[in-house]
């Protein structure tokens, strides 16, 4: 008997599908095709009528709502792009600020070094002036002997500050080759200045 009841339930389901569901689907499809050929957009009309019904309108979105949602999505994308650009610019500003701070520290260090070098140069100039006075007061032979043992740069600085007579006397007492080299170096130095 159970098989008879199953057959009866299956036949009712078949009857419902073949008599009600399939004809309704066929009729709706046929109406949509005819309406489309007639120049009516049935989906748009259904959306328009659905938006006017109180309960159905909450499920149906109008073209204005779709445009609004599309614009909202575009604006949100634009905001995200702008925020990304701002983040990049802030990172660039931070790196450039750090670079500026490093350069300012380098400038301060170089200024300190320049001041030290200027102090060293002033001290060196003072030492050269004292040596020049000492060698000018010395006997030319003794001054020539001492200068041959000194660094050439210091000798040139001392000779450059001496008067012509004292310089000539000392160079005359030196080895002729060394005197010639020192004289050439003095001429090149005076031409460079």
pLDDT tens digits in sequence order for the chain, 193 residues long: 456 666 777 788 888 888 888 899 998 888 888 888 888 887 777 777 666 777 666 665 666 767 778 888 899 999 999 999 999 999 999 999 999 999 899 988 988 888 888 887 788 888 888 888 887 888 888 888 888 888 888 888 888 888 888 888 888 888 889 888 888 888 888 787 6
Q: DSSP state, 61?
A: P
**Predicted structure pTM score:** 0.43
**Alpha-carbon dihedral angle through residues 170, 174, 180, 181, given to the nearest 10 degrees:** -100
Distances (CA, A) of 30 to 25, 47, 68, 98, 193: 9, 19, 34, 73, 106
Q: Are 173 and 142 in contact (CB under 8 A)?
A: no
């Amino acid at each position: 008997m159970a098989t008879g009841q199953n057959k009866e339930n299956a036949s009712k389901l078949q009857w419902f599908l073949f008599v009600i569901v399939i004809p309704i689907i066929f009729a709706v499809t046929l109406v949509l095709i005819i309406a489309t050929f007639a120049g009516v957009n049935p989906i748009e009309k259904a959306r328009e009528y659905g938006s006017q019904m109180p309960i159905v309108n909450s499920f149906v979105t109008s073209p204005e709502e779709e445009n609004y949602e599309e614009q909202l999505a575009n604006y949100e994308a634009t905001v995200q792009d702008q925020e990304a650009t701002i983040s990049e610019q802030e990172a660039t500003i931070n790196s450039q600020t750090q670079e500026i701070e490093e350069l300012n520290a380098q400038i301060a260090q170089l200024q300190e070094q320049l001041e030290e070098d200027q102090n060293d140069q002033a001290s060196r100039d003072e030492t050269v002036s004292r040596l020049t006075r000492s060698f000018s007061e010395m006997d030319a032979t003794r001054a020539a002997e001492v200068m041959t043992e000194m660094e050439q740069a210091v000798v040139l600085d001392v000779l450059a500050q001496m008067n012509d007579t004292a310089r000539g006397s000392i160079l005359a007492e030196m080895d002729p080759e060394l005197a010639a080299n020192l004289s050439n170096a003095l001429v090149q130095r005076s031409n460079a200045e």
